[in-house]
Amino acid sequence: MTAPLHEPRPGTPDTQQGMRRRNLSRVMHAVATDGPLSRATVAQRIGLTRAAVSTLVDELIRSGLIEELGPQRPGRVGRPGSALAVSRSGPAGIGAEVGVDHLAACAVDLSGEVRARAVRRVANRGRAPGPVLKELSVLVREVTARAEREGLRPAGLAVAVPGLVARGTRTVVRAPNLDWHDTDVSALLPTPAEAPSVLPLSVDNEANFGALAELWLGENTPADFLHVSAEIGIGAALVVDGKLLRGTRGFAGELGHVPVRPEGPACPCGGRGCLEQYAGEEAVLRAAGLGPGEDRVGLLAERAAAGDTDARRALRGAGTALGIALTGAVNLLDPRAVVLGGALSRLAPWLLPALERELTRRTATPAAGVTVSRLGSDGPLLGAAHSVVRAVLDDPVAVAA
Ligand SMILES: [Zn+2]
């Protein structure tokens, strides 16, 4: 059992409570990022006195968010302190993903470790949203139950979808590759009857969650970058100063529907010659002469590695189309870096040369460096789960209450 933290009383001036909440968050972030740490080191890191930090730490321990690992190694200078780490049985973020060809869910603890995960291959294109979300809820229930068996407390559920989500809502306005329109995920996602309470739910575009995962988990990711999520659909997300630029309605980043050839083939979005028609997963597989089947991207990578000319040509074509579409974005926005993520990032060795050639040729100055995400197709699912974890670290009082 954990003791509740004290909520600010109505009528209490916010300043002191607000400062306490911010300091609790700073302690949580320090311990989650660099722990195990002693109280003294935490105090040093965040610039508070050791006494102040001890009070905050005690509160976080009582709430079950931080745990003491026991005395640190002897022989160190100064009084031995007990090392602090985020709790392995504290809150967990539950992430879920609706893909065009799969469903997935996972549970991530406060340290960022994936503690449970479930994936199912399903052809979701053209299926009604109700049955898809019902199937997704089975996976969510599975990982939630596994997390709870390990003593974790699910703190929220975040769902990544391959479509436009109206800003500040849980409604998928349009998902061309699923053929969903105005779908309220919160209304259709069944909650397990046995769940004691309904988890707080958020819904966002997969490219947004992919970019956040890169920001939070990527190696040396700058605070300003353009993230390209290349899968069956191609989405992008712009991160500026560590924050997503969502656009007025929340629809920013639809790179896949930027025209590469204005008179090109028709696209489910209603346009013609969109990037997705040249560099989306299905277009690339078609161009390489590969029909449907298991792990086609892996097979394409194998063929390209073996020097297959059809595979190489298809990937060069996709890289060129990506370069043309990204030229517009890079010229307009001047990002510090372009990061290629998503399932197709596995094909980067054969996509990147053509992509970079187009970018270099078409942009005024040496192009922003293009790097490849190491998260690959895991980005959106991890980003979703981590968004819940980040919310706990950002305001531990809210979750403890
Ligand atoms: Zn389109």
Cα(177) to centroid(ligand 1), Å: 10
Cα(377) to centroid(ligand 1), Å: 21
Q: Is the pLDDT of residue 3 over 60?
A: no
Tokens of 109: 């603890």
Q: How many domains are there within the chain?
A: 3
| 175 and 54 co-located in one domain | no
CATH for 75:
1.10.10.10
- Residue 61, classed as helix, strand or coil, is helix
Give pLDDT, residue 258: 95
Nearest-CA neighbor of 53 among 24, 21, 87, 16?
24
Confirm whether 3 is domain-assigned.
no
Give pLDDT, residue 82: 79
Calpha distance 154→399 (Å, rounded):
10
Confirm whether 154 is domain-assigned.
yes
- Comparing 360 with 400, the larger pLDDT belongs to 360
Produce one character per residue of 339-349: b if its CB has 16 or more CB atoms within 10 Å, e if not: bbbbbbbbbbe
Q: Print the domain residue range for 321.
A: 219-374
- Residue 37, classed as helix, strand or coil, is strand
Cα(342) to centroid(ligand 1), Å: 18
Answer for the pair 131, 173: CB distance below 8 angstroms, yes or no. no
- Across 290-344, the runs of DSSP E, i.e. the strands, are 337-341
CATH for 242:
3.30.420.40
| 266 and 321 co-located in one domain | yes
Cα(272) to centroid(ligand 1), Å: 6
Calpha distance 72→35 (Å, rounded):
12
| 95 and 201 co-located in one domain | yes
Q: Is the pLDDT of residue 189 over 90?
A: no
Confirm whether 80 is domain-assigned.
yes
Domain boundary among 45, 63, 86: 86
Give pLDDT, residue 74: 52
Cα(101) to centroid(ligand 1), Å: 19
Confirm whether 6 is domain-assigned.
no
| 244 and 154 co-located in one domain | no
| 232 and 361 co-located in one domain | yes
| 351 and 233 co-located in one domain | yes
Cα(252) to centroid(ligand 1), Å: 14
Cα(274) to centroid(ligand 1), Å: 5
Domain boundary among 56, 86, 116: 86
| 251 and 129 co-located in one domain | no
Q: Is the pLDDT of residue 11 over 80?
A: no
Give pLDDT, residue 43: 95
Give pLDDT, residue 9: 46
Cα(231) to centroid(ligand 1), Å: 14
Q: Is the pLDDT of residue 292 over 90?
A: no
Cα(180) to centroid(ligand 1), Å: 15
Cα(329) to centroid(ligand 1), Å: 16
Average pLDDT along the chain? 89
pTM attached to this predicted model: 0.89
| 351 and 391 co-located in one domain | no
Summarize the chain as % helix, strand, coil (round to 5): 45, 25, 35
Phi and psi, residue 248, nearest 5°: -55, -45
The DSSP 8-state label assigned to residue 9 in this structure reads: P
Tokens of 190: 């069944």
Answer for the pair 68, 83: CB distance below 8 angstroms, yes or no. yes
Handedness of CA 139, 140, 144, 147 (dihedral sign): positive
- Residue 243, classed as helix, strand or coil, is strand
Going by pLDDT thresholds of 50, 70 and 90, the confidence category of residue 14 is low
Cα(268) to centroid(ligand 1), Å: 6
Confirm whether 1 is domain-assigned.
no
Cα(376) to centroid(ligand 1), Å: 23
Q: Is the pLDDT of residue 45 over 80?
A: yes
Calpha distance 216→202 (Å, rounded):
18
| 101 and 81 co-located in one domain | no
Confirm whether 8 is domain-assigned.
no
Cα(208) to centroid(ligand 1), Å: 18
Give pLDDT, residue 61: 95
Cα(175) to centroid(ligand 1), Å: 11
| 334 and 393 co-located in one domain | no
Q: Is the pLDDT of residue 364 over 80?
A: no
Cα(262) to centroid(ligand 1), Å: 11
Calpha distance 202→213 (Å, rounded):
16
Compute the average pLDDT of residues 374-400: 93
Handedness of CA 117, 123, 124, 125 (dihedral sign): positive
Centre a 10 Å sphere on the Cβ of residue 298 and count the other Cβ atoms it contains. Answer: 12
| 38 and 95 co-located in one domain | no
All residues with CB under 5 Å from ion ligand 1: 257, 267, 269, 271, 274
Cα(15) to centroid(ligand 1), Å: 49
Q: Tell me, what amino acid is at 357?
A: R
